A and B are shown apart, each in its own frame.
Chain A
Amino acid sequence: MTLRLGIDVGGTNTDAVVLNERAELLASFKSPTTPDVTSGIRNALDGLVQTHPALDLGAIKHAMLGTTHCTNAILERSNLNRVGLVRIGAPATLAIPPFVGWPEDLRAAVGGQHAVVEGGHEYDGREIRPLDIRAIKEAAKSFEGNVDTLAVVGAFAAVDASHEKRAGEALRDVLGDLPLTYSHEIGSLGLLERENASILNAAVVDAARAAASGFERALREHGIDARLFFSQNDGTLMALDYAVRYPILTIASGPANSIRGAAFLSGVRDGAVVDVGGTSTDVGVLVHGFPRESSVTVEIGGVRTNFRMPDLVSIALGGGTRIHRTGSLRLGPDSVGYRITADALVFGGDTLTLSDVAVAAELATMGDPSRVNSLDRSLVSAVLTRVRVTCEDVIDRLKTSADPIPVVLVGGGSVVVPADLAPASEILRPANYDVANAIGAAIAQCSGEIDRVFSLDQHSRAEALDIAKQMAVDEAVRAGADAQTVEIIDIQEVPMAYLPSSAIQIRIRAAGDLVLA
C-alpha cells in the first residue's frame, strides 16, 4: 500500500491530507500557516501523526505541495532576486523597452538591470541580425555583483531558441553558474508578456527554492521518502525540479487546487465552485473537471503576463469576516484571519464575525454557542441574506447561461453559505469539504504544454498538429504523467495573418494521471 500526501499552504491555514491508492482520504489535519514554510508543514505533519497514530508516513511515496510562497513574494515585494535581463531583438523591439508598465516598487525590488542587444529571429526563422555576443558580455560585466539571477528573452524564440541559448552561455562565461530563465521555456508569442513572465520567474527562484527545500526538509524529518511535486495554476502537477525552474507557474495554484479538489470530492465535472476560507472567498468554474481559464490577460503584482490562470472572482468574505453594526450593516472587508480562535465571540473574544452568525443560525458548531444566544435574530437573518446575495451575484457573473448549474461549496468557511442559492441547480457540500484544496493538490494530474510556430512550407497542417501533440504528450510525461493516461486537453492554432508563405502557431496541452510506483 502506497500513500499520497497533499499539502496546501494557504493564507490562514496549512492543510495536510493523506490519501491511499484508491484516492480515499485516510487522514487530514489543519494547522496555522507560519511565516517560514517549513515549520507550518512540520506542524501539519506532527498533527497528522498525533491525531492518526496508525498512519504509516513511511508509506507516502508521492507528496504534493500547493503554496502561495512565490505569489506572496511578488505581491509583498519581499525575498525577490535581483534579475539581470538580456533582450535579443535590436534594432527591432526598441520601441518598447523592458520594464515599461511595471510598478516602480516592483521594478526596484528586482533591480531593473537590463540590456537590449542585436539579434533575434523573424517569424520564419531568418535572423533579424546576427547575435551580438560582445554586447552580451558587456552587459554581463555590468551585471556583475548587481544581480542574483538572469533572464534571456529573444524575438521569435518560439521559432528558433538558438540565440537565447548562446546568450545564456555567454552570460555564464562571465558570471558563472547563476540561475537562468530562458523565455522560450516560459511562455508563448507575445514578447512583452513573455519577458515580464521570465523576469518574474527569475525573481522568485530563491523563494521557490526555499519552499522546495523546506518541503523536502520537513518530509525528511518525518522519515518520508517520496517523489515531490508542486501544483500549478491549471490544477495539474509538476515535478519538484521542474517547479524550481519554472516557479512562476505556481502563482495561482491555491484556487486551482480547491476547484479540482471540489470536483473530485463532489463528482461534479461542470459547475461552479465556491471556496470560502478565513479571509476571502474564491468562486471559480469547472469545465470538464478542470478550472476554466481566464480569457483576459492576467496581471501579477501589477505586471502584465500571458500565463494560463483560473478564471476567478475573489471577494473579501470568509469565516473570520467582521460584521460591522454601527450605522448600516457591513460585512468586512476586514477579517480577524488566523486570530479567529481568540477574537470571535464563540471563542470568548469580543469581535462579531461571520462564524458567530453561522453558529447562532445553527449552520455550524464551534466554540461556545451560548455566547451568541443573545444575538438579534433579525441581524442574523440580515447577515445571511447579505451572504446569499453576494454569492449569488458572483456565481451569476461567472455563469455562461441562464440555466442553473451545480454549485459545490468547499473550504472551512463555507458553512455560512445558504444551501439554496438561486443560480444553483443543486448545492453540494461534499464530505471533507474543509480540506478540498489539499486534496486537490494530492489528486492533481501532470501536464505538459507545447507552444511553437510551424512553417507550413515544411509540414502539412495535419503533420504539424501531430508533431505538436506528441511534443505536448512528451512534456506531460517528463512532468511525471503516466504515458498510458495522457490526453490532449486543449488545442489552439494561431495563423500568421497577411503572409503568403503560411505559418501557424500551435499551442497544445496534455495532461495525465501521476505515475504511481
Chain B
Amino acid sequence: MTWNLTHDDIERIAIGAGILGTGGGGNPYRGMTRARLQLDQGHQLQIVGLDELPDDALVVPIGGMGAPTIGLEKIGRGDEGKVAIEELESQLGVKVAATVPVEVGGGNSFTPMIAATQLGLPTVDADGMGRAFPELDMVSYYFDGVAPSPIVMVDCQHRKVIIRDVSDTRMLERMARAMCVQLGGSAMVADCPIPVRRLRETCIPNTLTLAHRIGDAVLTAQHQGNDPVGTICEVTDGRVLFGGKVVDVDRRFERGYNFGRLRIAGLGAWEGSTARIDLQNEFLICQVEDEVLAIVPDLITLVDSERGNPITTEVVRYGLRVTVLGIPAPPQLTTEQALHFVGPQAFGYEEAYRPLERREAVGWRG
C-alpha cells in the first residue's frame, strides 16, 4: 500500500488524531495546516505500509516535544525535522528510508510526514503509542529497555542537541526535557533509526489509517446530522463513560509536568453524579465517586458533546459540555513489559490495570 494524502485525508487524520491524542499530542489544527501547505507547495505526503519496505531499511521515529500552549503561539520554522534527520544521518553515517510517528495523537501524527516529504521520503503507517503519552520513554519501540540513543533535538534557530550513550530511556527523557525547556519549551526530536524488521515487532501498526477512519466517521456523521459521538464509539470500539459540564479545572505543576484534575457534573443520564479525570499532560484516569471507569493505558478522550470534536488538556475549561469516551488500548500497550512503562504504576497510581473491555458497560450512547 502506498497512499498519497489529499487535503480531505489530512482533515480526517487531524480529527482522528485529536481523538486518539487523549487530550495531548500537540495541536491538530496546526499540524493539519502545515501538512496542507506541503501539498500546496507541490510536495506529496506519502504513507507506506510496513510491508512495502525491506527488512533492513532504516526508519527514523520523529516528533515534536513541548507544551501544547507553546506550540499554539510559537509555531516552528518548518524544517526542524529535516535538519534533525540530516544531522542524525551524518552522526551515524547512514541513510534513512522513511519516518514514523512516535505518537499518532494530535499534531505529532503530521510531524513525521512533513519532515519526510522535505527529504523525499515516505512515512510508515504505524506509531509507538496508538495514542499520545507525555514522555519519551513511553514509546512501544523502546519497551524492551533499549534507549533510542543517540537522539537529535533541533529548535527553530537550528540549534542542535545530540544526546548519546544513554542506555536508560527514563534518563534520556529527563535530559531531553531539561534541554527542551532551555530551547523555549519546544523542540523537534529525532530518535535513533530503527530497522524495519525491528519496527514490525514493536510498533502499533496502521494507526494513521485508523485516525483517518475515525475522522471520516466524525465528518460523515456531522454532515448527515447523525450522532458523531456514537459513531466514534463504533469505529474505535469505545464507549461513553460520562457526559456533562466541566465545573472545575484544577491544575498544578510538579516535577516539570502538568498534573491536574477536572470535575464534570453529570447531565442527562449522569445527572446527580460527578466525574473526576486526572491528567498528566494527557488524561490518565476517569472516576465516578470511588469507581474507576477507565485508567491508562486505555484511552480517555474528551469530545464536544454536540459535534464530536476532540478537546485537548490545555483548552478544556469551565462550562464546556463534554462527553468522556473510553477506548481500549492497543494490545501492545497492555503486556506486562509495556505496563511497566505506560501502566498505572508508571504514573504513580497504586491500582492495578484493569482493561476497559472487562468492565460493565457504563452506558452506550443510543
Contacts and interface: CB of A to CB of B under 8 A. Distances in A.
Interface of A: 89, 91-96, 100-101, 120, 122-124, 126, 128-129, 155-156, 158, 189-192, 287, 292-293, 295-297, 304, 397, 400-402, 456, 490-502, 504-505
A402 B157 contact: no
Interface stretch (B42-50, B179-187, B230-238, B338-346): B179-187
B74 A122 contact: yes
Interface in B18-36: 24, 29-30, 33-34
B78 A94 contact: yes
Given A189-B72, A189-B73, A495-B258, A502 B253 contact: yes
Given A296-B304, A505-B69, A494 B267 contact: no
Given A400-B245, A493-B251, 7 more contacts: A93-B77, A401-B271, A495-B251, A496-B70, A497-B68, A498-B181, A499-B256
Given A95-B77, A456-B253, A287 B319 contact: yes
Contacts of A491: 318
A95 B75 contact: yes
Contacts of A158: 73
Q: Which of B158, B258, B318 has the most CB of A within 10 A?
A: B258
Contacts of A192: 30, 33, 75
A101 B34 CA distance: 11
Contacts of B314: 494-495, 497
B221 interface: no
Q: Which of B24, B77, B180, B318 has the most CB of A within 10 A?
A: B77
B354 interface: no
A71 to B, nearest CB: 23
Nearest to A453: B69
B156 interface: yes
Nearest to A461: B252
B317 A492 contact: yes
Contacts of B245: 400
Contact of B306 (A100, A120, A397, A401): A397
Nearest to A287: B319
B75 A96 contact: yes
Contacts of B271: 401
B76 interface: yes
22 contacts: A92-B156, A92-B184, A93-B74, A95-B78, A96-B37, A100-B33, A101-B33, A128-B156, A128-B184, A192-B75, A297-B29, A494-B314, A495-B69, A495-B258, A495-B260, A498-B67, A498-B134, A499-B181, A500-B253, A500-B256, A502-B253, A504-B251
Contacts of A500: 177-178, 181, 253, 255-256
Contact of B185 (A93, A494, A496): A496
B319 A189 contact: no
Contact of A402 (B69, B268, B315): B268
Contacts of B178: 500
B65 interface: yes
B253 A495 contact: yes
Given A101-B33, A295-B320, A497-B313, A93 B67 contact: no
A126 B155 CA distance: 15
Contacts of B74: 89, 92-93, 120, 122-123, 128, 155-156, 191
Given A497-B257, A498-B257, A96 B33 contact: yes
B212 interface: no
A39 B276 CA distance: 57
Nearest to A501: B181
A183 to B, nearest CB: 11
Given A89-B74, A296-B307, A498 B185 contact: yes
A401 B256 contact: no
A304 B29 CA distance: 11
B76 A95 contact: yes
B75 A92 contact: yes
A contact face: mostly helix, strand, loop, or mixed: loop
A500 B256 CA distance: 3
Contact of A400 (B70, B267, B311): B267
B207 interface: no
Contacts of A502: 253
Q: Which of A100, A400, A493, A504 has the most CB of B within 10 A?
A: A400
A286 to B, nearest CB: 13
Interface in B294-338: 304-307, 309, 311, 313-315, 317-321
A158 B69 CA distance: 12
Q: What are the 10 A-B residue pairs with the smallest beta carbon separation, nearest first?
A: A95-B78, A500-B256, A497-B258, A92-B156, A122-B184, A502-B253, A497-B67, A93-B75, A498-B67, A401-B267
Contacts of A93: 74-77
B66 interface: yes
Contacts of B166: none
A490 B319 CA distance: 10
B102 to A, nearest CB: 15
A496 B186 CA distance: 11
A296 B309 contact: yes
Contacts of B305: 400
B281 interface: yes
Interface in B271-299: 271, 281
B293 to A, nearest CB: 20
Contacts of B134: 498
Contact of B157 (A91, A493, A494, A501): A91
Given A496-B70, A505-B69, A92 B76 contact: yes
A129 B178 CA distance: 21
Interface in B53-84: 65-70, 72-78
A190 B158 CA distance: 23
Interface in B66-125: 66-70, 72-78
Contacts of A499: 67, 181, 185, 253, 256
Contacts of A96: 30, 33-34, 37, 75, 78
B312 to A, nearest CB: 10
Q: Which of A93, A122, A293, A495 has the most CB of B within 10 A?
A: A495
A493 B69 contact: no
Contacts of A91: 77, 156-158
Interface string B247-269: 00101110111101000000110
Interface in B129-171: 134, 156-158
Contact of A189 (B66, B69, B258, B268): B69
Contacts of A126: 184
Q: Which of B24, B65, B313, B319 has the most CB of A within 10 A?
A: B319
B132 to A, nearest CB: 12
B90 to A, nearest CB: 21
Contacts of B75: 89, 92-96, 191-192
Contacts of A95: 34, 37, 75-78
A500 B185 CA distance: 10
Nearest to A496: B67
Contacts of A292: 319
A400 B181 contact: no
A232 to B, nearest CB: 19
Given A96-B33, A400-B245, A490-B318, A498 B177 contact: yes
A266 to B, nearest CB: 22
